[in-house]
Amino acid sequence: MRLHPQVAASLAARPRPTEEQIAADPMAQLMATREAMVAAVDRECGPPIPVAHVSDVDAGGVPCRLYVPAPGAPVLLYLHGGGWAMGSVETVDRMCRRIADRSGCAVLSVGYRLAPEHPYPAALDDAERALAWLRGAGEALAVDPTRVAVGGDSAGGHLAAVLARRQRDAGTPLAYQVLIYPVIDPAMSSESYRELSEYGLESTAMALFWAMFLGDAGDPESPDVAPLAADLAGLPPALILTAEYDVLRDEGERYGDALLAAGVPVVVSRYLGVNHGWVRKLALFDAAGVAADQVAAGLRTALAA
């Protein structure tokens, strides 16, 4: 294992609140982190790639951003990361633009409600509402609502995995799923949690994110919370990207193994030398562009007319 110098430099430059600051006022620290993520977009993610049509839309009451590179394009419904408590359409804007540009697919980026103000199942409800809106309004949006994939990073990867399974159960299956360092295991039981908690996403932070997301209604043994608790047969083909220096590495790869065992076509790629959150930071990490382009290639193949 060798941490990439770009990642090492990013970690060294990252401002971090102390445990005492977090304990004294966790909500204030959360709000500050939300603002800092948005403020860092230009520095971390670079300039926006032009896409033919970009618009902020109301998707059945859910604020979303739609990227359409060409009329009639298939669509990726994208769910941002941030521990279900941070992040927005702004923090993944550059990545969504690159995926749309390189894949030829439209991207509907979902601004779902955040925990702890809106705990489970608010984010999942918003994702389903946005998907239903897309399917109903797609032709008017100049996209193809019959060819839809779902994707997300981190907590968004969790929502994407659950949404894919729920759509299978509803008889309205999706064509493809892209899971970028997804959150999978509420028990946080994998070895990578014990080995890799010093590279940007700490196990203590992940435990707090789970607690905020679950609130009083989330059942950690439910398939809607723990994707590995579900029957995985018949799910759409999957692309799973993991990071070598990420506490979520092992559970994402374990989910890939489980999908494969259930007969689901799956590609799992572990990116070496990088840590959690690298994919959207196109201006900081060379590997981010490679990963975004891998996602774009997978979408082109899966959603080809």
224 a catalytic residue:
no
C-beta neighbour count of 210 within 10 angstroms: 21
Alpha helices in the chain (DSSP H): 5-13, 19-24, 26-39, 41-45, 93-103, 122-137, 155-169, 191-195, 203-214, 249-261, 286-302
Instruction: Kindly state the helix (H) or strand (E) to which residue 240 belongs, with its residue range.
Output: strand 238-245
154 a catalytic residue:
yes
Q: Which of 101, 185, 246, 250 is catalytic?
A: 246
Q: Which of 154, 158, 190, 250 is catalytic?
A: 154
| CA of residue 117 relative to chain centroid, distance | 20
DSSP state of 278: -
- Residue 63: partners with Cβ closer than 8 Å, 6 or more residues away: 56, 57, 89, 111
Six-digit token string for 197 = 């908690």
219 a catalytic residue:
no
Six-digit token string for 43 = 């520095």
Beta bridge partners, 59, equal: 62
Residues carrying an active site annotation: 154, 246, 276
